[in-house]
A and B are shown apart, each in its own frame.
Chain A
Amino acid sequence: MLDVRNISYRIRNRKLLDGVSFQAKPGEMLAIVGANGAGKSTLLKLCTRELIKFTGEIQLFNKQINTYSDKDLSLFRAVLPQQNSVVFPFLVSELVLMGRYPHFEFHPSEQDYAIAEMALKKVGMWEFASRIFTTLSGGEQQRVQLARVLAQIWDVEQGILFLDEPTTGLDLLHQHQMLELAHEFTQKGFCVVVILHDLNLAAQYADQIVMLRAGQIEAVGTPRDVITEATIKRVFNLNVWLIEHPEMDCPMVIPQHRQFTDNQPLTNRK
């Protein structure tokens, strides 16, 4: 479904991505992990065509991404941005209906209303429908935005969903609900590509993990293949313990105790 072949991206003389390749299949959740500045967001922006000047190939449904029009893409591909700044005081209901804009000309159809309602209920924000979006808390705004993004591709057979650090600003319950929901969409045959910072969330929900280090792929594969003490040491420069999830077949990451205090003292004693 999403096929990334040997892409490199440079800005001025800095190479942000170098020879990255991976594939994401329908019904699969692919997580992109890595340290700050490893190129995760750049990679996502290339896949969503927000950035265009790169070398290599990106294919969606076996077609070059450049051959689609913005309009075509908007019918089956949705993106949840990391930052959401909405300038005018729109109502929550108006905002969610914006997700349906690609599907109607001037007046929303019955189905558009129905989908917007389902999406809002799905993220648990239905009671907020007549509130003004800008007055909501950060986490609530994030969930409304998710509803909008889901509404955009709700009734597509095989959609593709990009989530850029979707759990930022959410509490523990809603972090898991968010990824649970994304997982539910993969069951419908969707492909979900998600940037995550929390390796435990990635291990628990992703079918495939792409681990980036300084613009290159450090490891790619199932959570068990990718999340190891060695790769985490190399990518995050952090010593960790790995333990088994009590009920799932996946590793869990626990940082080791007091590993920074020796080499980086907080105060300069003179």
Chain B
Amino acid sequence: MSSTTIDPPSTTKPIQKSVLRTTINPWLMPSLVVALFVTIVLSVGIGAVHVTPYEIWLILRKAMGGSVEVDGTKEAILLVIRMPRVCLAILIGAGLAISGAAIQGLFRNPLADPGLVGISAGASLAAVTMIVLEVKFFQTLTGLLGMYALSVVAFGGACVTAFFVYRIARMAGKDLITTMLLTGIAINALSGALTGVMTYLATDEQLRNITFWSLGSLGGASWTSVLGILPFTVIALAGIPRLAKSLNLLALGESQASMLGVNLKSVKRQVIIFATMAVGTSVAVAGIIGFVGLVIPHLIRMGVGSDHRRVLTGSALGGAIVLTLADSLARTLVAPAELPIGILTALIGTPVFLWILFQNRRR
């Protein structure tokens, strides 16, 4: 039983009140924040050159303009290589997980994930097409944008697909969410097939590029790529939690949600736009990273219950932690080579998820 029965009966009144105010595992959110901080320090420190937390502190102080003596190599490694990579992992992890939680809430389906509305599929199709078909247009783009051309094209692909899925579902009319789900599945299958065609046409070297892309990696991290996705992710991270109440009401069903004053149209549009911004940009810089968007929200729900006011923020924190950790492993496990991060998230995440699921069922 819960703590209510343990407390002395003399204070019955406040206890009765607190039943409505119960938050499940109130310590979980603060500990997620602490865990994120520890993860950051850890990830920045480990690698071929080890940097202690104290050295990190010194290097940061120097970067802020303080006059302290630090090791030049370590400073360079930290500021140029590891810090941007960790920042990128945080942004992408948080963005993927919060979008996943919001999409699951919107579709009223715990099995939904951002890939379902065609965002990831569209992005990867665009990227693969660009890798394989070295068309004039793409070459001009590469000339203009250099190494970012691929990211821009991928983001464009994400936006176009999400827009298409939304439009087709709108045209089909009444039950927007079910139709979107079906349209998303259809579009996913189509872009899967087209990607397959591209793979078939590809040369050996292009195949290697495609694999890299479809398994995901944060290897290309730099301050430029961090700054590139920062505005999009920040807008999504700030915008989605504002929809928490509406997403809670959506769990009662669409008609009940609107009876309680939710503007369905605007909520749907906002969730889709924010999710496309976060997921589209993350696919653009790091390829497809599975698992995070689907499973992190589940883990958080097991911990804090279903209230989206906690699930959304919790997912963002959880996603950031998991992806940062996974990336540290990706670059250290088989050093000096690197594992694709998508493989790691699934490889480690699945057993952990199954274990927690099992523990939960037994209770």
Q: Are the C-beta atoms of B305 and A89 separated by less than 8 Å?
A: yes
Q: Write the A80-124 contact mask toward B (1 if CB under 8 angstroms, else 0).
A: 010111111111011111110110001000000100110000000
The docked-state distance in angstroms from the alpha carbon of A270 to that of B245 is: 64
Q: Are the C-beta atoms of A130 and B260 separated by less than 8 Å?
A: no
B: contact size bracket: 20 to 34
Given A50-B255, A101-B248: A73 and B261 interface contact (C-beta under 8 Å): yes
Q: Are the C-beta atoms of B258 and A50 separated by less than 8 Å?
A: yes
Q: Write the A125-136 contact mask toward B (1 if CB under 8 angstroms, else 0).
A: 000011000000
A77 at the interface (CB under 8 A from B): yes
Q: Write the B277-313 contact mask toward A (1 if CB under 8 angstroms, else 0).
A: 0000000000000000000000001000111010000
A262 at the interface (CB under 8 A from B): no
The docked-state distance in angstroms from the alpha carbon of A95 to that of B259 is: 15
Q: Which residues of A sit under 8 angstroms from B20, Cβ to Cβ?
A: 93, 96-97, 113, 116-117, 129
Q: Are the C-beta atoms of A85 and B253 separated by less than 8 Å?
A: yes
A210 at the interface (CB under 8 A from B): no
B224 at the interface (CB under 8 A from A): no
Q: Are the C-beta atoms of A74 and B22 separated by less than 8 Å?
A: no
Q: Which residues of B sit under 8 angstroms from A85, Cβ to Cβ?
A: 253
Partner of A70, one of B252, B263, B309: B263
A78 at the interface (CB under 8 A from B): yes
Q: Are the C-beta atoms of B306 and A94 separated by less than 8 Å?
A: yes
Q: Which residues of A sit under 8 angstroms from B258, Cβ to Cβ?
A: 50, 70
B2 at the interface (CB under 8 A from A): yes
Q: Which residues of B sit under 8 angstroms from A94, Cβ to Cβ?
A: 248, 305-307
The docked-state distance in angstroms from the alpha carbon of A238 to that of B109 is: 43
Interface residues of A, dominant DSSP: mixed
Looking at the assembled complex, report how far the CB atom of B21 sits from the nearest CB atom of chain A, in whole angstroms.
7
Q: Are the C-beta atoms of B263 and A130 separated by less than 8 Å?
A: no
The docked-state distance in angstroms from the alpha carbon of A77 to that of B256 is: 12
Given A79-B259, A87-B110: A98 and B248 interface contact (C-beta under 8 Å): yes
**What residue in chain A is nearest B308 (Cβ atoms)?**
A88
Looking at the assembled complex, report how far the CB atom of B262 sits from the nearest CB atom of chain A, in whole angstroms.
7
A48 at the interface (CB under 8 A from B): yes
Q: Are the C-beta atoms of B253 and A84 separated by less than 8 Å?
A: yes
Q: Write the A141-154 contact mask toward B (1 if CB under 8 angstroms, else 0).
A: 00000000000100
Q: Are the C-beta atoms of B4 and A130 separated by less than 8 Å?
A: yes
Q: Which residues of B sit under 8 angstroms from A70, Cβ to Cβ?
A: 258, 261-263
The docked-state distance in angstroms from the alpha carbon of A23 to that of B51 is: 78
Partner of A93, one of B19, B252, B262, B301: B19
Given A70-B258, A78-B259, A101-B249: A88 and B17 interface contact (C-beta under 8 Å): no
Given A88-B301, A91-B22: A71 and B261 interface contact (C-beta under 8 Å): yes
Partner of B306, one of A89, A102, A116: A89
Q: Are the C-beta atoms of B260 and A74 separated by less than 8 Å?
A: yes
Q: Are the C-beta atoms of B256 and A81 separated by less than 8 Å?
A: yes
**What residue in chain B is nearest A77 (Cβ atoms)?**
B259
Q: Which residues of A sit under 8 angstroms from B307, Cβ to Cβ?
A: 90, 94
The docked-state distance in angstroms from the alpha carbon of A130 to that of B23 is: 10
B251 at the interface (CB under 8 A from A): yes
The docked-state distance in angstroms from the alpha carbon of A93 to that of B249 is: 14
Partner of B256, one of A75, A79, A93, A97: A79
**What residue in chain A is nearest B24 (Cβ atoms)?**
A91
Q: Which residues of A sit under 8 angstroms from B21, Cβ to Cβ?
A: 93, 113
Query: Could you list 25 examples of A-B contacts with CB < 8 Å?
Result: A70-B262, A70-B263, A74-B261, A75-B261, A78-B259, A79-B256, A81-B253, A83-B253, A84-B256, A86-B251, A87-B110, A89-B306, A90-B306, A91-B22, A93-B19, A94-B248, A97-B20, A98-B249, A98-B260, A102-B261, A113-B17, A113-B20, A113-B21, A130-B2, A130-B22
Minimum-distance CB pairs A-B, first 6: A74-B261, A88-B306, A71-B261, A102-B261, A129-B19, A79-B259
Q: Which residues of A contact B (CB under 8 A)?
A: 48, 50, 70-71, 73-75, 77-79, 81, 83-91, 93-99, 101-102, 106, 113, 116-117, 129-130, 152
Apart from A88-B306, A93-B21, A96-B20: 11 A-B pairs, beta carbons within 8 A = A70-B262, A71-B263, A74-B260, A74-B261, A77-B259, A78-B259, A81-B253, A86-B252, A91-B305, A130-B2, A130-B19
